[in-house]
Amino acid sequence: MSKAVNVEDIFAKNVFTIGKMKEYLPKEVFDEVMTIRSQGGELPLHTADVVANAMKDWAVENGATHFTHWFQPLTGVTAEKHDAFIKHPDEEGRCLLEFSGKELIKGESDASSFPSGGLRATFEARGYTAWDMTSPAFLKEDAIGVILCIPTAFCSYKGEALDMKTPLLRSMEAINTQSLRLLRLFGNTTSTKVTPSVGPEQEYFLVDRNKYLKREDLIFAGRTLFGAPAPKGQELDDHYYGNIQERIGGFMHDLNIELWKLGVTAKTQHNEVAPAQHELAPIYETANVAMDHNQLVMEIMKKVATRHDLACLLHEKPFAGVNGSGKHNNWSLNTDDGINLLDPGDSPNGNLQFLLVLSCIVKAVDVHADLLRQSASCVGNDLRLGGSEAPPAVISVFLGEQLEDIVRQIIEFGEASNLKENVTIRTGVSALPDFEIDATDRNRTSPFAFTGNKFEFRTVGSSDSIGSPNITINTIVAEAFSEACDIIESAEDKKSAIHDVITDNFTAHQRVIFSGDGYSEGWRKEAARRGLPCLESMVDAIDTLNDEKTARLFEKFSIFTKAELGSRAEILYETYVKTINIEANTMIDIVSRQIIPAVSGYSGRLADTVNNMLQAGVKPMVQMGLLNDVNTQLTEVDEALVKLKFLLENVSEIGDIKEKAYYFKDNIIPAMAKLRKPVDNLETIVDKRTWPLPSYADLMFEV
Ligand code: ADP
Ligand code: MG
């Protein structure tokens, strides 16, 4: 039995919350911090000193020995470098603790080993981290002790963004400004701030750690590079929402406690579709905090799993043949006085503000479908997207029956006078309440679906940062809002201008709206006919960052310069090449040092048996057949191995990084598949006791 927990007592125990700031700071300093937090600006050094000191006192009272600027470089994971609070001992040898305002608000690090995509030469390797005051400081507790973590943004010596945080904050400013403009058109004078709210649902797999450690592919690539299907997959749908096993329950319990202490609102937990797959969803919060918290969720999942002798796999496709993992990015826009711009209200057909917002989002997604696709691409996601389980590689919008009907009326008649009513389902049991079918329904195959009062971007990969998708959504919607406001603000008759913009947006961009089955072959053809981009691979999507259209978008709102976009493209090509290279080398290693020796040993024993039987005067029919079979497959393994090695050797001839990425996609990946096939065939015929790797059944069904 797990220990009882009082959530109210432990929630945010390790966070320097606003409440704690109020308690530890003099009133004027607290007020100053709050003003800068909400309105922006820089903290003066003398104020920062007071805040830093208070933060240190609180941290030390809670056992902290070090502090760190905690940031998100473009490696996809977080980075930290710890410094103890100690300062030079005094004459009597006493060591006092210190944490200055300067150390709090700005850090300088030799950041030459972080990816910069050519933005930063090693001779100007300095990088700066700066405190993101809108994301609270927190304490990380583990074997290393207690560390005070300051969420920070990371940029180069010249101010170019080298992380996810900086552009995300810039995009939040853009959407704030443009949303306020839009609200003012409707006479709103009370809202002073609009922030994107994000709730990322996180999928993951848990496997036994001892089995995990027996698989180099899981260790180095995060996914299985070999593996014959288990006799049972997910066909019975008995895992989805299934009863949670004790061992997994113990993990979830500890995970929740760790997350709650960090102020992460872990809310929902359940088993997912694939065996050994699970999900955690937090309550939505401001985009930058949601991003920080999602990074913590991923990190803590891995840590807690180890404590339970489990390994947490965040890869998008750890196992072939069963569902992969994604991250549903739920997104909405909320004002500081409680209005959700995506709330359709009771009569969406007459809600002009909502319709304008909706039409702008539809336009944004259509105009920048390629960029949106790019924003959710990572190497692992290539194995998941389009696999009849996750959204297709074509980006489309799902609105649900009621809204789609409204859009149709607007396009046809310029307004929507009819509202399709919700259907009430009668349960027919007096003790059960009747309920209304949600007008927005569910369409699990859609990449960008309206779900009640938010959009759910389902394309994002499970291991990826939610930074890129949210930077992109915020900015493309800001652009559409700004273009709408330009027209409406300068019109004589504002009301009719609003009507016109709504109609024009829906009319011009209706091709991106799709409510059918996103997995079907028919949709691929239809999407092509509609002219929607279909970017199959991450490699195909990267160049979108170098588009004129993309540069115009991001430069307009000062989010990325052309150079920053170019650097990000380069980093992505590099990441792709390095990742596939690691996978290919891991395959070579496993085959050369584990599979071939094991299978050779097995066929040697088979040959002995054959000889013994012949000597004994018995015909070794089955054994001969098997021996031949094993030998044929092993020969195929060897040929494929030689080919893969040869192709890898040729990589050094290619200088251009984009060309290299395509070489990996078009040559190395097919060669890897060729190697996998005979190995997986062998797994199904070779004696299980001699097979060197835990099988799919071992990994997914014996957790
Ligand atoms: P599901 O999609 O699995 O049915 P929900 O839609 O209730 O579950 O919530 C999924 C996620 O969406 C949660 O993280 C939740 O906090 C978040 N969410 C709910 N409402 C909003 C909103 N208005 N804006 C952003 N995220 C939201
Ligand atoms: Mg959802």
pLDDT tens digits, residue range 281-322?
999 999 999 999 999 999 999 999 999 999 999 999 999 999
459 lines ligand 1 (CB under 6 A): no
340 lines ligand 1 (CB under 6 A): yes
690 has a pLDDT exceeding 70: yes
What's the CA-to-centroid distance between 542 and ligand 2, angstroms?
27
351 lines ligand 1 (CB under 6 A): no
Mean pLDDT of the chain: 93
Residue minimizing CA distance to atom 24 of ligand 1: 332
pLDDT value at residue 120:
61
| Domain 7-163 top-level CATH class | alpha beta
- Out of 330, 342, 454, 470, mutate this one to test ligand 1's pocket (max ligand atoms within 8 Å of CB): namely 330
The candidate with the shortest Cα–Cα distance to 195, out of 181, 175, 168, 170, is 175
Looking at domain 575-701, its CATH architecture is: Up-down Bundle (1.20)
pLDDT value at residue 387:
66
What's the CA-to-centroid distance between 124 and ligand 1, angstroms?
43
pLDDT value at residue 242:
85
Query: Alpha-carbon distance 431 to 68, whole Å?
Result: 57
What's the CA-to-centroid distance between 53 and ligand 1, angstroms?
38
- Out of 272, 284, 332, mutate this one to test ligand 1's pocket (max ligand atoms within 8 Å of CB): namely 284
Mean pLDDT of 61-89: 92
pLDDT tens digits, residue range 333-378?
999 999 999 999 999 999 999 999 999 999 999 999 999 999 999 9
- Nearest ligand by distance to the CA of 285: 1
Residue minimizing CA distance to atom 17 of ligand 1: 199
18 lines ligand 1 (CB under 6 A): no
447 lines ligand 1 (CB under 6 A): no
pLDDT tens digits, residue range 675-687?
999 999 999 999 9
pLDDT value at residue 424:
61
pLDDT value at residue 127:
82
546 lines ligand 1 (CB under 6 A): no
pLDDT value at residue 235:
82
What's the CA-to-centroid distance between 199 and ligand 1, angstroms?
6
427 has a pLDDT exceeding 90: no
What's the CA-to-centroid distance between 424 and ligand 1, angstroms?
23
438 has a pLDDT exceeding 60: no
The candidate with the shortest Cα–Cα distance to 209, out of 297, 304, 317, 322, is 304
Query: Alpha-carbon distance 422 to 429, whole Å?
Result: 20
458 lines ligand 1 (CB under 6 A): no
Residue minimizing CA distance to atom 13 of ligand 1: 199
Q: Give the CA count within 13 Å in the CB-facing half-sphere of 356.
A: 28
197 lines ligand 1 (CB under 6 A): yes
199 lines ligand 1 (CB under 6 A): yes
Q: What residues does each domain of the chain span?
A: 7-163, 171-200+327-560, 575-701
Residue minimizing CA distance to atom 4 of ligand 1: 451
437 has a pLDDT exceeding 70: no
Query: Over pLDDT 90: what percentage of the chain?
Result: 80
Query: Alpha-carbon distance 683 to 702, whole Å?
Result: 18
Q: How confident is the model at residue 1 (pLDDT cuts 50, 70, 90)?
A: low
- The letter for the amino acid at 115 is P
284 lines ligand 1 (CB under 6 A): yes
Using the atom order of ligand 1, give the atom closest to the CA of residue 281.
14
195 lines ligand 1 (CB under 6 A): no
- Nearest ligand by distance to the CA of 340: 1
Query: Alpha-carbon distance 245 to 543, whole Å?
Result: 45
Query: Which residues of 307-457 form beta strands (DSSP E)?
Result: 310-313, 327-335, 397-398, 424-425, 435-436, 448-450, 455-457
Q: Are 327 and 461 in contact (CB under 8 A)?
A: yes
Using the atom order of ligand 1, give the atom closest to the CA of residue 332.
24
Element (H, E) at 366: helix 352-367
- Nearest ligand by distance to the CA of 339: 1
Residue minimizing CA distance to atom 11 of ligand 1: 199
332 lines ligand 1 (CB under 6 A): yes
Q: How confident is the model at residue 521 (pLDDT cuts 50, 70, 90)?
A: confident
The candidate with the shortest Cα–Cα distance to 602, out of 534, 530, 689, is 689
> Higher model confidence: residue 45 or residue 236?
45
Mean pLDDT of 75-82: 88
pLDDT value at residue 615:
97
What's the CA-to-centroid distance between 69 and ligand 2, angstroms?
32
pLDDT tens digits, residue range 90-123?
899 999 899 999 999 988 776 677 887 777 654 5
Query: Alpha-carbon distance 16 to 134, whole Å?
Result: 12
What's the CA-to-centroid distance between 201 and ligand 2, angstroms?
7
Q: Give the CA count within 13 Å in the CB-facing half-sphere of 233.
A: 10
pLDDT tens digits, residue range 573-629?
999 999 999 999 999 999 999 999 999 999 999 999 999 999 999 999 999 999 999
- Nearest ligand by distance to the CA of 196: 1
Q: Residues 563-567: contacts with CB within 8 Å, 24+ apart?
A: 563/119, 563/160, 564/119, 564/160, 564/161, 564/167, 566/117, 566/118, 567/116, 567/117, 567/118, 567/119, 567/160
187 has a pLDDT exceeding 90: yes
Query: Alpha-carbon distance 454 to 469, whole Å?
Result: 15
455 lines ligand 1 (CB under 6 A): no
Using the atom order of ligand 1, give the atom closest to the CA of residue 340.
23
* Phi, psi of 289, rounded to the nearest 5 degrees: -70, -40
pLDDT tens digits, residue range 635-668?
999 999 999 999 999 999 999 999 999 999 999 9
What's the CA-to-centroid distance between 257 and ligand 1, angstroms?
21
What's the CA-to-centroid distance between 256 and ligand 1, angstroms?
18
451 lines ligand 1 (CB under 6 A): yes
Q: How confident is the model at residue 3 (pLDDT cuts 50, 70, 90)?
A: confident
Q: Are 136 and 17 in contact (CB under 8 A)?
A: yes
Element (H, E) at 699: helix 696-701
96 lines ligand 1 (CB under 6 A): no
What's the CA-to-centroid distance between 354 and ligand 1, angstroms?
19
- The letter for the amino acid at 154 is F
- Out of 454, 457, 460, mutate this one to test ligand 1's pocket (max ligand atoms within 8 Å of CB): namely 454
What's the CA-to-centroid distance between 287 and ligand 1, angstroms?
13
> DSSP assignment of 208-234, as one string?
EHHHHTT-HHHHHHSS-SS-PPPS--S
What's the CA-to-centroid distance between 207 and ligand 1, angstroms?
27
* 406-410, 465-469, 522-526: range with lowest mean pLDDT: 522-526
